[in-house]
């Protein structure tokens, strides 16, 4: 699987292939050498599951906040 990632420092765009790499391997910018991301994280973002996971996370977080607000309302 291949996807394009851009460096947040110099804006250079490069292609990152997840093959031949471990999830914890770092992706560094080929232009300025700055650390961009890990291959594992890039792979997570590329999968639809990540979106669902984020959605669920946001949902449970708002539920938690609603509960906390409710609880602090009492004396």
Q: Return residues touching Zn ion (CB under 5 A).
A: 7, 9-10, 12, 29, 31-32, 34
What number of helices (H) and strands (E) belong to the chain? Answer: 2, 4
Residue 22: CB minimum distance to Zn ion, A: 22
Nearer to Zn ion, 25 or 31 (CB): 31
Nearer to Zn ion, 27 or 29 (CB): 29
C-alpha distance from residue 71 to each of 16, 62, 63, 67, 68 (Å): 47, 14, 12, 6, 5
Nearer to Zn ion, 10 or 45 (CB): 10
């Amino acid at each position: 699987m291949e996807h394009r990632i851009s460096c947040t420092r110099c804006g250079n765009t490069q292609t990152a292939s997840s093959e031949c790499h471990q999830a914890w391997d770092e992706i560094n910018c080929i232009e300025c050498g700055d650390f961009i991301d890990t291959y594992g994280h890039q792979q997570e973002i590329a999968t639809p599951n990540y979106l669902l996971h984020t959605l669920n996370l946001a949902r449970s977080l708002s539920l938690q906040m609603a509960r906390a607000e409710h609880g602090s309302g009492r004396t």
